[in-house]
Amino acid sequence: MTELHTLTIAESRAALDAGEITSVELTEAFLKRIHAVEPQIKAFLTVTGELALEQAHAADSQRNGSPRSPLHGVPFAIKDVICTRDIPTTAGSRILEGFVPPYDATVTARLRAGGAVLLGKVNCDEFAMGSSNENSAYFPTYNPWDTDRVPGGSSGGSAAAVAALETPGSLGTETGGSVRQPSGLCGISGLKPTYGRVSRYGLIAFASSLDQIGPLAWTVADLALILQVIAGHDPLDGTSSAQPVPDYSAALTGDVRGLRVGVPREYFAEGLDADVERVVRTAIETLRDQGAELVDISLPHTRYAIPTYYIIAPAEASSNLARFDGVRYGPRLPGDGLWEQIERTRGELFGPEVRRRIMIGTYALSAGYYDAYYRRAQQVRTLISRDFEQAFTQVDVIATPTSPTIAFLLGQKTDDPLAMYLSDVYTVTANLAGLPGLSVPCGFSQQMPVGLQFIGKLLDEPTLLRVGDAYQRMTDWHKQRPKL
């Protein structure tokens, strides 16, 4: 019998439904695996072993009849910026150390209601600000393919936990690439759904006009199963879309004949590692072999995406993070009077990158600079969206590298914030335009995984998942596992 921790979600689903395994057996296998590899990987901030076994028992006892959801009895991990009732939620920050939310985020509630088994909360860059997981206030997470390298970020724990076979699936979040980039660097699949497709109620906000929750797993077929459970309108999130949720698994026909795939020249330019480019171009050719049509396109405002993102995201963060003052949430440092308490709490318990963003954002929003920075950035954001609207009159989906390089070494970019920011150069665009984006593993460079990104039209997750799944039917990069 295969070791249970090597099963994908779809494989677990089939084995559970056939009565070949129980959720308790499956959960025990993953808890054992977590115990074995965590010292090397450090993906988890909290392991909820007891709760997991309780939920697994409950799932097993409710198993007669059809499962309540595709994740019924399936183990799962959640990024620590998503609220979980009665389970610590830190956002990777000291300022929320020991914070225990009194309620579940909507995605958490949907997973619980669907009978998923929570293995624990996974590490991330503080308040999801970062691309390497090195900004976690607790400890860095290590890339399972090479533990001298970063897993990417900010959902680095979500990606590393899947890649290390500690969980078959996880939830991450994106503001500028934080699901796709670590998925690419860890050799797994990850989806950022359309802005508004998944409720963000109970997600600790970073930049509200960009934030979105998304799934990570080995296969696109598994992403479709997870998305089915978490997507849909939520009256508690005013930005959530009222559009009906399609059957994502039904969209996976394996057929991409006639599909027009745009290849934007600006994503294959300066800064892209030559070997990564070779791997990605070869991958895109596979789609042509399957009957897709490749179309050379231009997204001319791409080069403004990083500067635009690094005005808008910090501006919104500076406002969202104002609520962390030591009065309502988390620890409070002593001081002489209220202001000194707040000053000390915020000054000492926010990490350096978070403080940098709050300062950039406060500056960009201050009177006299608002027009020069924030308003200007919003205008450029519109131009970036229009690039995509224009492109989608010619193509159905866009294919690009997920990141310009393979996973970098720990410490390599920590002293150079700009170099760190540039690792998101191909992913922030979809967040600025609100579009769905998918990363799938497409090969290796220097024995490290390379990600292939697809960007789709608004709410067109079905096409995006179809092309990613079709690619996986033709290739076996998603079947490669790190040696641990």
Interacting residues with ligand GLN (CB under 6 A):
128-131, 154, 174-178, 206, 313, 424
Q: Which is nearer to ligand GLN, 272 or 313 (CB)?
A: 313
Residue 374 CB partners (closer than 8 Å, separation 6+): 311, 312, 315, 364, 365
**Structure tokens, 50:** 């007891």
CB of 95 to ligand GLN, least distance (A): 17
Q: Which is nearer to ligand GLN, 134 or 460 (CB)?
A: 134
Query: Catalytic: which of 12, 42, 69, 79?
Result: 79
Locate tokens 């959530």: which residue? 240
β-partners of residue 75 are: 117
Q: Which is nearer to ligand GLN, 73 or 176 (CB)?
A: 176
CB of 174 to ligand GLN, least distance (A): 5
CB of 267 to ligand GLN, least distance (A): 17
CB of 127 to ligand GLN, least distance (A): 8
Q: Which is nearer to ligand GLN, 119 or 354 (CB)?
A: 354
CB of 129 to ligand GLN, least distance (A): 5
Q: Which is nearer to ligand GLN, 225 or 313 (CB)?
A: 313
CA separation, residue 431 to residues 253, 427, 479 (Å):
27, 7, 28
CB of 403 to ligand GLN, least distance (A): 11
Residue 149 has φ and ψ, to the nearest 5°, of -110, 160
Q: Which is nearer to ligand GLN, 236 or 306 (CB)?
A: 306
Are 450 and 400 in contact by the 8 Å Cβ rule? The answer is no
CB of 401 to ligand GLN, least distance (A): 16
Residue 266 CB partners (closer than 8 Å, separation 6+): 298, 299, 300, 302, 303
CA-to-CA distance for 242 and 112, rounded, in angstroms?
22
Q: Which is nearer to ligand GLN, 226 or 313 (CB)?
A: 313
Residue 482 CB partners (closer than 8 Å, separation 6+): 144, 145, 163, 164, 187
Three-state DSSP class for residue 216: strand
Instruction: Indicate if 439 belongs to the active site.
Output: no
CB of 140 to ligand GLN, least distance (A): 15
In this structure, which amino acid lies at residue 12?
S
CB of 204 to ligand GLN, least distance (A): 11
Q: Which is nearer to ligand GLN, 80 or 424 (CB)?
A: 424
Strands 212-217 and 169-174: antiparallel
Locate tokens 């994502």: which residue? 248
The closest residue (CB) to ligand GLN is 178
Query: Catalytic: which of 12, 69, 132, 178?
Result: 178
- Going across the sheet that includes 169-174, the strands are 44-47, 117-122, 75-79, 169-174, 212-217, 189-192, 437-445, 448-456, 397-401, 260-264, 293-297
Instruction: Indicate if 79 belongs to the active site.
Output: yes
Query: Catalytic: which of 23, 132, 154, 240?
Result: 154
Q: What is the 3-state secondary structure (H, E, C) of 321-374?
A: HHHCCCCCCCCCCCCCCHHHHHHHHHHHHCCHHHHHHHHHHHHHHCCCCCHHHH
Q: Which is nearer to ligand GLN, 216 or 221 (CB)?
A: 216
CA-to-CA distance for 419 and 367, rounded, in angstroms?
30
Are 267 and 426 in contact by the 8 Å Cβ rule? The answer is yes
**Cis (ω within 30 of 0) for the bond into 154?**
yes
CA-to-CA distance for 346 and 332, rounded, in angstroms?
9
β-partners of residue 84 are: 87
Residue 434 has φ and ψ, to the nearest 5°, of 75, 10
CA-to-CA distance for 101 and 115, rounded, in angstroms?
20
Q: What residues act catalytically?
A: 79, 154, 178
